[in-house]
Chains A and B, each alone.
Chain A
Amino acid sequence: MRIARPLRLLEFRPGSLAPIIAILAVLLVLLTARQPDFLSPPSLMSFLGRSAPIILLAAGQYFVIVSGELDLSVGSLVTAQVVIAARLIDGDPSAGWPVVVLLLAFGIAVGLVNGLVTTRLRVPSFITTLGMFLILVGAVYLWSNGAPKGSLSEEFRRLGRSGFEDVPALGRIPYALVILLAAAVLALVLTRSDFGRTLVAVGGNPRTAELSGVRVWRAKTMAFVLSGVAATLAAILIGGYSGVSFQAGAGLEFGAITAAVLGGVALGGGRGSVVGAMLGALTLETLFTLMNFYGLSGALKPTVQGAIILFAVAAASFRFPSR
């Protein structure tokens, strides 16, 4: 019995994508029941564009989590990047691309530090990235004396808020969505590469991986770097879409981690798929949109989010007992 090629995606980790797809489908049905034109191209495109940052973060978090670690610094990294971008650009239209390159370098550097401290100094990543969180938040406040300075140029913000206009059938395609798709393809290729498989092996059983000649520290450090890059891309989109604030990245780390777990990525490492993580993020965003349409108070958002997460993860763990 040969399984047809397209099914490979679902077969990759048996069953792990089924729960999240089911939840997403239910939420989408509820959404269209309330707002029939939600699935029309314009609104769907703008929804996907808006969800791009958290989906990117969830993909980055996947690499770290599947390798058996955790990155609690991504939210603060997003905030830091947005504040840095505003201060460096300071309204200067020509500063756009150089700043993007600089942000990427900074994101990679933060990922490297997280990774090396975790793997070489053997500090648990929970503590490493929590320390990085404190350092980044403190540093951006310190650097800007408590209020963000400068402003983002229109050119820089275009990535987050504009798109290809007048595309046949779809209307407007946000640049954010294009970036997301490119990143998703890249992430998928990475997970299928030797590196991706090594990472899963490292997370599943570091000792065995070590003994079979894998340089565990290098794989894990790469994962942190990828998470830093994902956070940088997310920051560029968020800065473009919603502008500069110290709250730009607040709480995103928990959002990304819960999205990944919701999508079947096991905390502790070794199990899950990057597609699952991204679908998990999409599901969370769908949930928030649904709540908006049903007029739920914004303050109640966390309560519903918490309840859904608990319910979904509990349901998933009943079906797939921990290894």
Chain B
Amino acid sequence: MSGALSLSARRTPPGVFVALVLTLAIGWLIVTVDGGRLFSLQTTVSLLHVAAGLGLVAVGQTLVIVGGSLDLSVAYVVSLSTLVAAETMAGDDGALLPGIGLTLAVSSAIGLVNGLLVTTARINPFIATVGVGLLLKGYLDNGYDGPAGKAAPALVQGLGYQRIGPVPLSFLLLLAVAAAAWLVLARTRFGHHLIAVGGDPEVARLSGVRNNRVLVTAHVLCALCAGLAGVYLASRLGAGAPRVGTEGLYDLESIAAVVLGGTALAGGRGGVVGTVGGVLLLASIDAIFNQLEVDVFFKQVIRGVIIIAAVAVYARRAMRKAS
């Protein structure tokens, strides 16, 4: 059993990293020919910042997708979390820890609701999490017209802008969270159970896995990650932003990053390492386009094509391996 499991953890395809290196190499060439610099300090830092926000959400998303579920409410959880964090802190360093604590508590509670709807109420995850997302959207639309609250200055200076060399603190946070999630998936009983539930729920149940408990935990962890992303965005913006999650397309982009990273949408296969690669790939494309001053709308078109093409390449390779 451990052989099969470490395989599924190791099977995280390096493909996405090959794509990442190729993208960066080609991007660097084009940007250089264009007269710009892709790896300037400023570009690198902003690339890593973009990766940090999306990455936190995507790591959580990986856990639910591996378990065969899905979370489309993350964008709203991110928005709500920036508000909870910034309003609790209200610009006071003394309220830093309570602010973070409350944010994480609120987001895990939402994850718990998602998990219970999917497992106990047996609602399809797509519908359940869109439904919860709509509930949150209504609350946000009704209560907020614009930014509110004020993040604690210490948070802004720390998580928001502090960096070690070119590496922002927030990116280190992402790496830490990703490492923790990797450990959980590859080394813990819960992780093994989660992969089993995603692979074949019936077999998992018959082998004594408590499917519901495992899936609920995955949903809570996913929402927790989205809450963390919210805290990070509050630290960047200095305030709570009721629409930052949806405008950043965090729901769809996080899923795209997970799939780019080689995790099967149907569950049971994949891992966090690939997801981090997927996130870096999306962030690199963003950075290259920014350097080339590509029209934002054109950027979106290209991004759509790239996501489809990349996943198509994976599908082909998977088919060849299977045959």
> Interface 1/0s, chain A 125-141, versus B by CB < 8 A?
01110111111011101
Contact among B117, B265, B295, B307 for A131, CB-based, below 8 A: B307
Please state if A306 and B122 are interface contacts (CB–CB under 8 Å).
no
A74 to B: closest C-beta gap in Å:
15
Contacting A310 at CB < 8 Å: which of B132, B295, B316? Answer: B132
Residue in A127, A131, A142, A261 whose beta carbon sits within 8 Å of that of B298 in the complex: A142
- Whether the Cβ atoms of B308 and A142 lie closer than 8 Å is no
B197 in the interface (beta carbon within 8 A): no
A266 CB to closest chain B CB (Å) equals 8
Would B312 and A123 count as touching, CB distance under 8 A?
A: yes
Tell which of B127, B252, B297 touches A309, judged by Cβ atoms closer than 8 Å. Answer: B127
Of the candidates A117, A135, A267, which one forms a contact with B312 in the assembled complex, judged by CB atoms under 8 Å apart?
A117
How far, in Å, is B215 (CB) from chain A's closest CB? Answer: 14
Question: With A122-B315, A134-B307, A142-B295 given, is the CB distance from A317 to B131 under 8 Å?
Answer: no
The listed residue with most A CB atoms (<10 A of its CB), out of B127, B130, B298, B300, is B127
Contact partners of B311 in chain A: CB under 8 A: 123-124, 127
Query: With an 8 A cutoff between CB atoms, is B166 at the interface?
Result: no
Q: What are the interface flags for B150-169 relative to A under an 8 Å C-beta threshold, 1 for contact and 0 otherwise? A: 00000000000000000000
Contact yes or no, A300 B127, CB < 8 A:
no
Contact in complex: A135, B301 (CB < 8 Å): yes
CB proximity to A under 8 Å, residues B223-273: 252, 255-256, 259, 265-266
Q: Is the CB of B138 within 8 A of A261?
A: no
A302 within 8 A of B: yes
Return the chain A residue nearest B298 by Cβ: A142
Q: Is the CB of B117 within 8 A of A127?
A: no
Tell me the residues in window 129-154 of chain B with beta carbons closer than 8 Å to chain A beta carbons: 130-135, 137-139, 141-142
- Using a CB-CB cutoff of 8 Å, which residues 294-323 of chain B contact chain A? 295-305, 307-308, 311-312, 315-316, 318-319
Do B138 and A299 touch across chains, with their CB atoms under 8 A apart?
A: yes
Whether A134 lies near B303 (C-beta < 8 A) is yes
The complex places the Cα of A141 from the Cα of B301 at a distance, in Å, of 10
Interface size class of A (residues with CB under 8 A): 35 or more
Give the residue name and chain of the B residue nearest to A304 (CB).
B138
Given A138-B298, A314-B117, residue A321 in contact with residue B138 (CB < 8 A): no
Q: What does the 1/0 interface line of A62-90 toward B look like (CB < 8 Å)?
A: 00000000100000000000000000000
Asked if A267 and B127 make an inter-chain contact with CB atoms under 8 angstroms apart, the answer reads: yes
- The reply on B128 being an interface residue by CB < 8 A is yes
Once the chains bind, are A257 and B315 in contact (CB under 8 Å)? Answer: no
Instruction: Kindly state whether residue A164 has any CB partner on chain B within 8 Å.
Output: no
Q: State whether the Cβ of A268 lies closer than 8 Å to any Cβ in chain B.
A: yes
Q: Check A307 for interface membership: any CB of B closer than 8 A.
A: yes
Contact between A138 and B130, CB atoms less than 8 A apart: no
In the complex, A151 has a CB within 8 A of chain B = no
Residue A303 is within 8 A (CB to CB) of chain B in the complex: yes
Answer whether residue A153 sits at the interface, using C-beta atoms and an 8 A cutoff.
Answer: no
Given A138-B297, A302-B138: A258 touches B127 (CB 8 Å cut-off): yes
Of B256, B304, B318, most A-chain CB atoms within 10 Å: B304
Q: How far is the CA of A212 from the CA of B31 in the complex (A)?
A: 53
- Judge whether A23 is part of the interface by a CB distance below 8 angstroms: no
Q: Is the CB of A126 within 8 A of B255?
A: yes
Minimum CB–CB distance from A244 to chain B (whole Å) comes to 17
Set of chain A residues within 8 Å of B133, measured between Cβ atoms: 306
The answer to whether A217 has its CB under 8 Å from any CB of chain B is no
| Distance of A303 Cα from B135 Cα, bound (Å) | 4
Chain A residues, Cβ within 8 Å of B138: 299-306
* Residue B6 lies at the interface, judged by CB distance under 8 Å to chain A: no
B110 to chain A, nearest CB (A): 12
Interface check A40, CB cutoff 8 A = no
Contacts of B304 in A (CB 8 A): 130-135, 138
B117 interface neighbour in A135, A146, A310, Cβ under 8 Å: A310
Q: How far is the CA of A49 from the CA of B137 in the complex (A)?
A: 28
Residues from chain B with a CB closer than 8 A to the CB of A317 are 121-123
Q: Is A313 an interface residue (CB 8 A)?
A: yes
* Interface set, chain A 255-308, CB cutoff 8 A to B: 257-258, 261, 266-268, 297, 299-307
**A131-B307, A134-B300, A306-B138 known; 12 other A-B pairs, CB under 8 Å?**
A131-B308, A133-B304, A137-B300, A138-B300, A138-B301, A257-B126, A267-B124, A309-B131, A310-B123, A310-B135, A313-B123, A314-B117
